[in-house]
Structure 1
């Protein structure tokens, strides 16, 4: 269903918040009896001006057509009752719940954690550690034994040295002594990260606990972050499952390209000519900047970060995707705080730091909704619990006081039954015995958190304007998807007769393009290609020509052979497809000569070969006719005087 979520994103480009419109505002147009306000159109247009890719949508007149069509579809979706579908309601509620997490937090605590996170991602720590492994729910006796063990190990490190002890005690089962290397913020669990950043270089920490057990760590070094690298690459692709022959041919070609670079050839020109990473080849091989851990190929990352000087070029190296040469363009330090603030806030909320934010939020909500823990009596629940709870066999007593009110959150009453049900639902999570008073208190705090969060979430749309706006956009986007899927996409897919008829009347639109079987020779020196041209005219094979022009380890000419289309990167623009050896062209900052062995003319595609494109085109036609019918059904009336004012304002 990837299409679904792409469509929802696209629809949000033209959706907007209408919940707080004023009746006194200028009405730009009406859809049936429904008004659409000028302020809404202006806000949406300005908000999404930089997001649209189609230049026509930046034209105000064209955008008005797009916007009126959007409003027509929403009107029709509600008319057909799609907003009442159970599946639609369920997905909308799921989205609202997920979205609410971004709006239910304590901003002050979050901001403090974000600032701390920024300081940490701008610096790396190199540390080793010793871990005595112990589970989170271990018995008090086992927990104490693990703690005593880590204390003794720390005492040993002070006498014998941390590294000596670390290597000796590591067994990979109960005790781990690991060299961690450099890491920065978010790379370790928060408790571990805290200790690492707060321990001075050369010092060993006091014992501390994480979910894995008890640790001590020794800080070896701290340094500023490596930041990002902007590089370009030339890739000859092989793929992860390539056989030895393919890999060997790719290695030969990458070494030829590397030899050309060493002979003074332009990296960027060679990338345009030969790199098989099509997304970067046309840009001279240039990639977007990235930091450590952002790309999935560690070998590539290591080479990129090993280059020390801007302009430096690596030797050829292999990854699972093929053979590469990398050029370093820029070393980019970590961005400033304001640039990274939003991204870091999202990471903080997903990290174990979120527990700190949650607790701060609960404290805030208690104050907001006037909840006093001391007013809640839990003694009744202590009296009805017993050891069966730790065996997952406890049940509520038959005379349970279910109707009694436990607490109030504003106008909402939380009953004993609510808390009793929570105890039943969560008892399987409790195996380790503890005093019943402590158990009830712990469960109540977790229950209270859930209740406060649920109450806040259910009232968020009336309390937070931004949240309400985003929900409105998603609500209409999801509604629009349901309508389009049922009205256009599914019917076009199932209307096989209509699709075939469309193909039969538009066959000329579905052709294989003209192609050639060719040898493309490229060189930075025109004189070398004159030699190649003569040899090609004499029908010499490529290997013989290579031997003639690439001597003494120099690669003066690089060859590409095979069946290609007119848009192939090695062919000059508007290259004429005819048999024989072409003239020498200037192309991609180099010279090119092409031998055309055979020309394959345009060929009609069969229905099966063109089916995907035909269905898409048929859907477009069907949608255009459908929009016409909606305009007749609901009638869109534009207030031209208001639209004139809107255009002047947008100018």
Structure 2
């Protein structure tokens, strides 16, 4: 048995160091600076996306591009651009933007979103016994916990319903033996621990006590099923009310159902019969909903419809008599599509605060975080009731005394005082809940979390390879941009002699094809101007004469030059031709007239300047890269390259 297990896992064990070695292998060097397989694989995959097939042609093409990129970065460093303060500040700005929430997203948010998405795949059926909390006073909390533990003693799946009916404080469910029924994650705010308990328990298992804002829960998980998802429903409702005879309302509902059987549309029947004012004029449309949104009978009937377009029989709920029509059904959508909604739900829930606190507790232990008790106590002993005042002076006798240590970093009493003064409103708000010592302790804990997070952010490159890769992209991208600007782009725009020489050498590339000079006439017919009269007059009068005759209020003339492919619709590429008059709206009409054909010719530099500069930049960049290849040696590791292509 042991031998078979070793045989099963041995290939995996052997593969791990090989994979790590491949990522650390040097693919090529530029002036001795290595580029590893891991770096190239990351940027190649990121750039090419789904087309990153690691074929020879694809890898070789991108390898050439990346070598050129690295040559330019090497030149930027040679120019000392990596020491320019403005560029360093720009990079630090990028890093701060990237680092903000990065740790929380990777260590907390992303994991909670994946956990929630996984749970949403199942609806879970459970019962519970609630021991409520009369208050949050520690003595009351302890008493409630002890009561829950007493109930837990001897509690089984077999006697759970009886015990719930006897002792549960949940009036909603105790008469049903504590049975809640099927639920789907996330549970309402504050119920994360209960959600965790029912999803993680085995079928038939009793777990607890579980603490939530409602109190302590003892839980029996009955089972689970694939999540129902959401159903899109329209309905017809005949309401129950003190004024309405229930038998008559049911009879009217049956009449409506008969009308549907006779072929009348659901929309028409809803408009005639339904007493739901919000939906009757919209074909009875309710929309999408999941489980536990409506009454159980209504919900079961809605999800019991198995096909789109299927119509239920008359069903009764506490509200009245319904006829339901299924419009569509959708299951749990792909995680990528659900992620934004799930992330919002996670961040608003207590699970986020709990996971965040757990993260910082772990990091504090890993980094060796220590409160310097003597200096902290000395500072707190100097506080009095003015601590809660917004404008109080919190100056410490010894601002330089170390009050907190995280790893190799030390933080002083003065640092903590600066935090307290910057958060004066938070400090003042704590007066309702704490004495001075308790408020100071709470604020110190918050401040410590902030410092731990900042310390952790400084370690992101070591902890997250993708963060390190992104920072390398930012750093080298800034250097590349600045070097290219100085060596290529600025030169192309400022080197007038070189630009003119380039243009003279490539003049034949910059030509106008045959074109037409076209006049557009916009006639203001709202003012009574006759568009047809203008069109006839345009054939033998100049633009100035037309404006003089019809006035600027009645006529606007614009000139533009077109190539044949871009001519306005209805215009012929021929001199002295005119389009028909087109009444574009109630107030204006438009026609075009070709007044002159312009033959093909070479452009002057002033006419092609933008194109010439762009092409000149391309030439300068090619020449620059050729010079860089001579200046900085590029050496490929052909063996490593071949292995990368094979992967």
**TM-score if structure 1 supplies the norm length?**
0.46
Larger radius of gyration: 2
**1 or 2 for the larger relative contact order (CA 8 Å, sep ≥6)?**
1
| TM-score (normalised: structure 2) | 0.47
